[in-house]
Each structure stands twice: as C-alpha cells, then as structure tokens.
Chains A and B, each alone.
Chain A
C-alpha cells in the first residue's frame, strides 16, 4: 500500500500521509469477505485515508521501551472447575440455521468446479 514507509507512517516533516487507493480498499474488502459496490469503495478510499492519517500519530509517542497493554486488568491462567453442564440440544443448535438438511447445517459448496 502507498504508505511512504510502513514501519513509520510519520514522515520526517511530522505529518502523516497515508493514501489508500481504490485497489487497496478492494483488496482489504476481499480479505475481510465484504462485497462492496464501486460507490462504497470510492467513499471508503477518502474516509479511510483521512482516518488513518489521524490515527498514525500514535507512532509518534510509542517508543521502543514502552510495554504494550493488551488488557486493562490483566489476568492470566484463568481456570474453572471442569463441571459437566448441559449444552444446546441438537434441535436448539439447528433451530436458527439459515439452511438445514438431514439434521445438519446445509452450507454452500466449499470448493468450486475448477478446484
């Protein structure tokens, strides 16, 4: 993508410049499995570039020696007693399926003809 330097989105003049192209947005939409219209791509190109420009300032203060915070109140090794609890019944699990067949979820084909 058209960031001047991916490891440092802030250029030496201190102003961030992130430009996404329509092809970038289309690629990201594909990675996210989102069908977008051409009009949507057009709108997102401008909006996302603007947002990324604004948020790139984080790299200005985030120097190497700062430990990242992943969770506000860190907990580790969370265990619970291994107690058997009833789960959903077969019927309950299938009840909200968009499509079902022979007591199973029916899904579209995973592999196309040529695969």
Chain B
C-alpha cells in the first residue's frame, strides 16, 4: 500500500482522493476497500446503508485502476471516488426499496440516468442509503428498515429524508452521496450532520429512474463534506436528459469554476439578502446565533447585507402539505401489487382489488398512508379548488416574493433547519411538529430555485451542527456555490478545518 493510511483515506475530500488516484499515489481499489472497511466498522451503529455493494464497488474500482494503468485519461474528475446512493434512485440489479416494505427485495431492471452518469464518470457506488419511506419525513425514522443514527450523537436523528446519505458522509463512510429533495430532504439532513448538500434548480438533474414522490417538487442533488466536492458531483449528474420531460434543456451549470472563484475571492460586490420571515419564532436560539454569526462573517467578507421581506412564506408549509400529498396520492397509485413489489393476500379467491388493498395497507407505513389519504381528500370533488387550487396560488405568491427579494439581493440566506438534531422518537407521534422541520427549506422547493446548505458551525446551546441555507434565482447555481465556497473558506481559515472534521471518531461504536 502507498503512503496513505486507511484512516487518512476515509477522511480525505473527494477532490484529493481523485487527484491521488489519478496521480497513481493510491489505487481506486485501496480507496474503495478503505471505505468498505469503515462501513463494516461503524455502520452497524449508524445504519446509513440498506445495501452494501461490496463486489460491484470493488469491480468498478478495479476498472478505474485498469483504465488508468492502460494510460487512459480519467473518465471524469471524480473517477475512482466512492459514493453512497440514496435508495430511491434505481441501479440495475441492485436492491432498491425506497425505505418501504412494499419494495422489499425488488431489483430494478434498469439504471436511473443519475446512476448511468455516475457509472460513466467512474464513480464507485458503495451501496444504497437509508431514507424515510418514499422520502417522506424529516428524521429517517419513517424507514421501514429502522432509523439511521446521527454520527454526532447516536441517540439523535440525522434529519431526513436523506438521513442515510448525510450520516454516511458525517461518519466518513463515503466522501460523496446522492440525495433527493422535495421539501428539504437534502438540505435539512446536511444541516443536522455538518455536511453540505445542494438542491439544484427544479429540472436541473434528471429524475428518470428516481422513484417519484411529488413530481412538481422532486429534485436530485449532490451531497459531500465540502463545497468543492459537492460542486464536482453536481457537474457529473446535472444536465439535460430527454428521458425526463421536466429536464431543463441546458448544459450543466459551471459550478466548479464558481467554487474556485469563491475560494479565491471575497464577497465584495455581492448582495446577500436575509429573509425576515426565516428566523425568529420557531427557531432554536443556538441556530439563530450561528446564523447571525454567519451573516456577520459575510459582512466582514465584503457582502452588502440587506433584509428582504417575503410575507407569503408564512403560508409555504400549508401549501406544501396540500400540494405534496396530492401528488403523492397520485404517484403512489402505481404500487398495485401486480407487476413488481409486494403482493399479499393472493389466495386464489381474493379479487385484484382486495389483494391491492391488503398489500398497500400492510406494505406502506403510517406516514405514507397519512399522506395518501390527505392527498386523496385534497383532490376530492368539491375540495379541489379550496385546497389544491389555493395551494397552487400560494405557490405563485411565494415565487413573487422570491422575485422581489432577488431584485435587491444576489442570494438569500437563512438557517437550513430551525433546530439542530433532535432525539430519536421525539416527534414521531406528532406529524405537525415533524413537518415544521422543513419551515426554512419549503419556500425554495415551492419556487423551484436552487438552494444549498453549508455548515455554519456548532450551536452554542446543543453543540450540534447548524446549516446555513444559500438560495439563488432559478439557474443561479453558480452564484450560490460561489457564496457557499467563500463562506466555507473563511470558516476553515477561522476554525482550522471544516465542521465535519469535529464529528466523533466513532472508533469502537460497534
């Protein structure tokens, strides 16, 4: 083995791993094996993964090593780097559950476009990560396969729905991960685990092969421990896909260049808008203090900080919890026990309808059924205009609030989550309390704008990570990444490293 110890390999950034692999200092197989060993060590305690693709990962890594040994150029800037794939993105022949019993044991017959792009880029897929069932939740406790634990405190949740992907990063089980974000499922787990996650502009990344939750909101995005790694992954997965008719017909945004610029420059000439409605009531004091310190840092870095007023954000949560369940009730009708997935009660006598009803009733978990029923109600004749129709109008009002805010600011900032990681079981019996976790992320989801979470430090009151949300206008990924990169570089300069480096070592957690 090379000069790199295994302990170093798992703590390196994806960018550094790639340059070591491409420069021949370490092999992709060594890097992959180091991460598989780490998963074997800590995942029994963390439970970030639902499936670990040992053979597939090592074979993919070997292929990268062979291609480099043959003198070929790396397939991408991330060739040979391992990644954790959220288990709602299909990979051919690899078990995909979406965190639901209804898909237990299902092996998809095709690859999602995101999966294809990762494989073509030489990215090594380590396995599939845990999530709230069909990505419905903010704590990963709604997974039918048990919760994921937060590496910062094993008695706390890692956020959700992408808790598995975020925990895998914070536990140094993978340097890269894929998330999906409908109302905050990339950004809130990133905030709660001290990692980085970006929700691209709606339509920025293909959803072909991503199991649908709420189609007018769902978006796939990159997650990592640093802004640069997140940007490198963003460029691999983004860009037009004719197989997703909502895919934006434009090339992927040049976010890596934006990060390099952000790292080299300060924020002079940039206007940063603080959203009046996204702090204060409902926000934990330690989160607000970290956010205020972040705004002060951006001011020191030369940004012109302005306060912006977005009065209709107050209605965002209500609109979201009408639009999303309505689309859920429609999308999840496809799980009918006929062509794939679970089938219960098929005794030769029962009708198709009885089998379907039994399978869905017992195969879906409590939150999924709650949302299907809610959506069925909201779409009922006589209620459609008052509920779904009104919610769609609120969406217009929120987009107008954003438009007026972006007239006076280049990016908007807020806390990514109103609270730091809470205890397992604390909110499971109170759906409304759970829904409030997405207070800050939902407006951006409804407007379809790009938004990301970058760690702003540890909360003074809980000692747990806090995320800064940076939002930009549609297709404004470059300025979003630039600001996040400048903020992160300044944080590193002041604190000696990224937030995730302070995460517990987890040695001997088994």
Also in contact, A33 and B392, with CB within 8 A (given A25-B373, A72-B399): no
- Which residue from A9, A25, A36, A56 sits with its C-beta under 8 Å from B361? A36
Query: How many interface contacts (CB-CB < 8 Å) are there between A and B?
Result: 203
Using Cβ atoms and an 8 Å threshold, which residues of chain A touch B249?
Answer: 75
> Quick one: CB contact mask for A30-60 with B, threshold 8 Å, 1 for yes?
1111111000100110011011101111111
B360 touches A33 (CB 8 A): yes
Total chain A interface residues with beta-carbon distance under 8 A: 62
7 cross-chain pairs, A with B, having the tightest CB-CB distances, nearest first: A72-B448, A35-B361, A68-B392, A98-B343, A62-B390, A62-B393, A80-B242
A73 at the interface (CB under 8 A from B): yes
Using Cβ atoms and an 8 Å threshold, which residues of chain A touch B364?
Answer: 34
B346 touches A72 (CB 8 A): no
User: Which interface class (under 10, 10 to 19, 20 to 34, 35 or more) fits B?
Assistant: 35 or more
B377 at the interface (CB under 8 A from A): yes
Using Cβ atoms and an 8 Å threshold, which residues of chain A touch B243?
Answer: 80
Q: In the complex, A96 Cα to B312 Cα: how many Å?
A: 46
Using Cβ atoms and an 8 Å threshold, which residues of chain A touch B397?
Answer: 61-62, 66
A78 touches B245 (CB 8 A): yes
Q: In the complex, A35 Cα to B363 Cα: how many Å?
A: 10
Q: Which residue of A lies closest to B201 (CB)?
A: A73
Q: In the complex, A57 Cα to B387 Cα: how many Å?
A: 9
A58 touches B322 (CB 8 A): yes
A32 touches B329 (CB 8 A): yes
Residues of B bordering A, CB below 8 Å: 106-110, 201-203, 216-217, 242-243, 245-246, 248-249, 312, 315, 317-319, 321-322, 329, 333, 336-343, 346, 350-358, 360-362, 364, 366, 369-370, 372-374, 376-377, 380, 382-383, 385-387, 389-397, 399, 431-432, 435, 446-449, 474
Also in contact, A72 and B202, with CB within 8 A (given A32-B372, A34-B372, A40-B369): yes
Chain B interface secondary structure, helix, strand, loop or mixed? helix
B396 touches A75 (CB 8 A): no
Using Cβ atoms and an 8 Å threshold, which residues of chain B touch A60?
Answer: 315
B346 touches A69 (CB 8 A): no
Q: Which residue of B lies closest to A55 (CB)?
A: B318
A84 at the interface (CB under 8 A from B): no
B357 touches A33 (CB 8 A): yes
In A61-113, which residues have CB < 8 Å from any B CB? 61-63, 66-73, 75, 78, 80-81, 88, 92-93, 95-99, 105, 107-112
Q: Which of B202, B377, B394 has the most chain A CB atoms inside 10 A of its CB?
A: B377
Q: Which of A57, A95, A105 has the most chain B CB atoms inside 10 A of its CB?
A: A57
Using Cβ atoms and an 8 Å threshold, which residues of chain B touch A7?
Answer: 382, 385-386
Using Cβ atoms and an 8 Å threshold, which residues of chain B touch A93?
Answer: 109
A99 touches B315 (CB 8 A): no
Q: Which residue of A lies closest to B244 (CB)?
A: A78
Q: Which residue of B lies closest to A53 (CB)?
A: B432
Also in contact, A44 and B315, with CB within 8 A (given A72-B399, A72-B449): no
A12 at the interface (CB under 8 A from B): no
- Which residue from A6, A92, A95, A98 sits with its C-beta under 8 Å from B382? A6
- Which residue from B110, B372, B391 sits with its C-beta under 8 Å from A58? B391
- Which residue from A6, A25, A54, A71 sits with its C-beta under 8 Å from B318? A54
Q: In the complex, A22 Cα to B312 Cα: how many Å?
A: 34
Using Cβ atoms and an 8 Å threshold, which residues of chain B touch A112?
Answer: 351
Using Cβ atoms and an 8 Å threshold, which residues of chain B touch A48?
Answer: 370, 373-374, 377
B377 touches A73 (CB 8 A): no
- Which residue from A34, A68, A97, A109 sits with its C-beta under 8 Å from B373? A34
Q: In the complex, A43 Cα to B369 Cα: how many Å?
A: 12
Q: In the complex, A60 Cα to B387 Cα: how many Å?
A: 11
Q: In the complex, A111 Cα to B354 Cα: how many Å?
A: 11
Tell me how far the C-beta of A68 lies from the nearest C-beta in chain B, rounded to whole angstroms. Answer: 3
A107 touches B432 (CB 8 A): no
Q: In the complex, A81 Cα to B242 Cα: how many Å?
A: 9
Q: In the complex, A80 Cα to B396 Cα: how many Å?
A: 29
Using Cβ atoms and an 8 Å threshold, which residues of chain A touch B342?
Answer: 98
- Which residue from A9, A34, A72 sits with its C-beta under 8 Å from B360? A34
B361 touches A34 (CB 8 A): yes
Q: Which of A50, A71, A92 has the most chain B CB atoms inside 10 A of its CB?
A: A71
A6 touches B386 (CB 8 A): yes
Q: In the complex, A106 Cα to B396 Cα: how many Å?
A: 46
Extra pairs beyond A44-B370, A72-B446, A109-B351 (13, CB < 8 Å): A34-B360, A35-B360, A40-B369, A51-B435, A55-B319, A56-B386, A56-B387, A68-B389, A72-B201, A73-B246, A75-B245, A99-B346, A108-B350
